[in-house]
Amino acid sequence: MWPELPIVQAPMAGGPSTPELAAAVSDAGGLGFLAAGYKTAEAMRADITATRRLTSRPFGMNVFMPSPDEIDPAAVAAYRDRLAPEAERLGVSPGTPSARDDGYDAKIADLLDDPPPYVSFTFGCPGQDVIKAFQRRGAVVIVTVTTADEARRASAADALCLQGSEAGGHRGSFTNTSGDPVPLRTLLQNVRAVTEQPLIAAGGLATASDIAGILDLGAVAAQLGTAFVRCPESGANPVHKAALADPRFTSTAMTRAFSGRPARGLVNRFLTEHSAHAPAAYPDVHYVTSPLRKASVAQGDPDGVNLWAGESFRKATETPAARLVASLTPR
């Protein structure tokens, strides 16, 4: 079921996960992952096709589950008004909320027609009918969980990806208000107590020693995202890559400011000024801030864009992905 090496490259929506990155990781013996989030089903399929051209090794595709949360339109509108001065400074207008399902049905239909070897889900667990349909097609199904209760609800999956509080990017919880994040090693113990499913551990892992420690605690593999963001094969924007090495960014924090869902990123001006005011409204807030974030990147301004990063971000380097996988492999 698992790749040669116990290293999974995290699916990172919004740019970092490219066919080149996934193929390089898989060719090196790890498991590369693509990300369908924020893409159309057609763009998702194009990434799969491109990756198959680049590697004959197994790789995966990650899908966002539709948001089940109730949204307060008035709170979203108030936050949009709050961001108007930011938008004016950048020469854009705040965005308008749009579809909330990320094209889920179209993506599932496309993937079931011709799935990659691994399919994973974030922000929830699909129904058993969907999981079994992928399993019948020969795909390994992985569900991201952040609590023991979520692990119980994902019992039909082939494996679970445990996302600890140290992880960068969005918290993959089943709901937008699921309590305080749990550190990875505690989460691993909590989930192992309720399931015998294979567990992939994610959150703040950046070295071979980190990975060896997680394997010793019972994980079958380690998933790393931030460690791969600065790789030349990564599609992360230059502002993001540079910020991970910029000494003026010294810490990370959880915030809803950019998307309306908790996510860990480098502490910059936007995060500091707006975190307390952002409603729990994903993906509505994502749509509202999207034009501002794009403009900030275009203008080279790291203080106006989400700089997703795990707690070990300072260890991310520009090392090519294959060499990075080799250096991360426990001896």
Same domain for 172 and 73: no
Encode pLDDT of 54-64 as tens digits.
999 999 999 99
Same domain for 84 and 45: no
Determine the structural domain holding residue 298 and report its residue range. Answer: 69-99+250-306
Same domain for 161 and 54: yes
Same domain for 136 and 53: yes
> Among 331, 312, 330, which Cα is nearest to 10's?
312
For residue 69, what pLDDT is reported? 85
Same domain for 83 and 46: no
Task: Give the CATH number for residue 158.
Answer: 3.20.20.70
Same domain for 123 and 28: yes
Encode pLDDT of 263-287 as tens digits.
999 999 999 999 999 999 999 999 9
For 49, the token pair is 């096709």
Same domain for 78 and 27: no
Same domain for 296 and 154: no
pTM over the 0.85 mark: yes
For residue 178, what pLDDT is reported? 75
Same domain for 271 and 144: no
- Cα dihedral sign for 308, 310, 312, 317? negative
Same domain for 114 and 16: yes
Encode pLDDT of 8-33 as tens digits.
999 999 999 999 999 999 999 999 99
> Among 64, 56, 37, 31, which Cα is nearest to 200's?
31
For residue 179, what pLDDT is reported? 80
For residue 67, what pLDDT is reported? 86
The number of folded domains in the chain is: 2
